[in-house]
Structure 1
Amino acid sequence: MSTLIWRPVGAALLALLPLMAQAAEPGKTIATPMAEGSMGGQLVQVLLGLLLVIGMIFVLAWLMRRVQQIGPRSGQVIKLVASQALGPRDRLLLVQVGNEQILLGLSAGRITPLHTLKEPVHLPEAEAAAPEFAQRLMELLGKDQKDKP
């Protein structure tokens, strides 16, 4: 078993042997990539690489949003009908599963079913608002929900 462990180490040492022999010669110096190119060229190369990575991040984020929008939205079985914040970590949720609506209490690390409604609550389409974060963001940006065509 010990020979299996030492074989890769021995192979790595054999691969480094020419470099060690070259370093042992006092008259020769090893050329480094930093010495070959100018500093300005290297800076441009680093900046282009950084821009490429940032561009790829934006392209992948855009692609993920497109892929998520393709999925069927109306075919969901579980729907969030309404949400009410009770405190910083406590919420009431009205969830519809099929034809049944359930009132849930949501607190830190715990979801408790509070009541199953016999008569479903129907909200008019105008009241089915965007999530709270989207509403607050629109308010901060100075746009109103009425501005939508």
Structure 2
Amino acid sequence: MKRLLAAVLAWPLSALAAEPVTSAVAVPAAGGGIGAQLTQLVLGLLLVLGLIFALAWLLRRVQRAGPQQGQLIELISSRALGPRDRLVLVQVGNEQILLGLTPGRITPLHVLKEPLVLPESTQPATPEFARRLMEALGQQKDKP
């Protein structure tokens, strides 16, 4: 009955085709068990996760490859004043501007006559809490 229905539905399309349509209906394989379906599901999931990680890696690489030397506006420093307010020091060309950022407004506060030179630190600054936490974890590792 299914083959007859498939042949009737495919008949108008067979008139347009160069070759005659045979009434071959795809029948699912009866030999696959639940283990095969589970394996196929896991492999498909791993494939999708791998694709997501590969695209994320590629996106990061493309964003880093952007023109670094051609930047006209550079963020020099930033300081949070509250949960939604900050002070930002930006450099535009040879001029440094102190900006106040609020959720609805960006206000220029001061244009510096002489650009500030930030000292190059040899090691990244670690906040006090993070440093003490690392010390405490290091001491606990030593103790059995």
Range of TM-score over shorter length: 0.5 to 0.7
Deviation of 1:127 after TM superposition, in Å, equals: 8.4
Q: Distance in 2 between matches of 1:105 and 1:71?
A: 27
Q: Which amino acid aligns with 1:78?
A: I
Q: Distance in 2 between matches of 1:127 and 1:107?
A: 33
Q: Does 2:85 align with 1:90?
A: yes
Following superposition of structure 1 onto structure 2, how do residues 1-149 of structure 1 map, counting pairs within 5 Å? Answer: 18=5, 33=28, 37-126=32-121, 139=130, 142=134
1:127 to 1:101, Cα distance in 2 relative to 1, 3 A:
farther
The TM-score, its normalising length taken from structure 1, stands at 0.61
Q: RMSD between aligned alpha carbons?
A: 3.5
1:65 to 1:78, Cα distance in 2 relative to 1, 3 A:
same
What is the count of residue pairs matched by the alignment? 114
Deviation of 1:41 after TM superposition, in Å, equals: 0.8
Unaligned regions of 5+ residues in structure 1, if any? 1-17, 22-30, 144-149
> Which structure dedicates a bigger proportion of its chain to helix?
1
* Overall identity of the aligned pairs, in %: 63
Deviation of 1:116 after TM superposition, in Å, equals: 1.3
Unaligned regions of 5+ residues in structure 2, if any? 9-25, 136-144
List 4+ stretches of structure 1 deviating above 4 A. Answer: 31-36, 127-130, 140-143
1:108 to 1:80, Cα distance in 2 relative to 1, 3 A:
same
Deviation of 1:87 after TM superposition, in Å, equals: 0.7
Deviation of 1:46 after TM superposition, in Å, equals: 0.8
Q: Distance in 2 between matches of 1:32 and 1:88?
A: 62
Q: Distance in 2 between matches of 1:57 and 1:103?
A: 40
1:96 to 1:38, Cα distance in 2 relative to 1, 3 A:
same
Deviation of 1:59 after TM superposition, in Å, equals: 1.0
Q: Distance in 2 between matches of 1:109 and 1:64?
A: 30
Q: Which amino acid aligns with 2:89?
A: L
Deviation of 1:48 after TM superposition, in Å, equals: 0.4
Q: Secondary structure at the match of 2:111?
A: strand
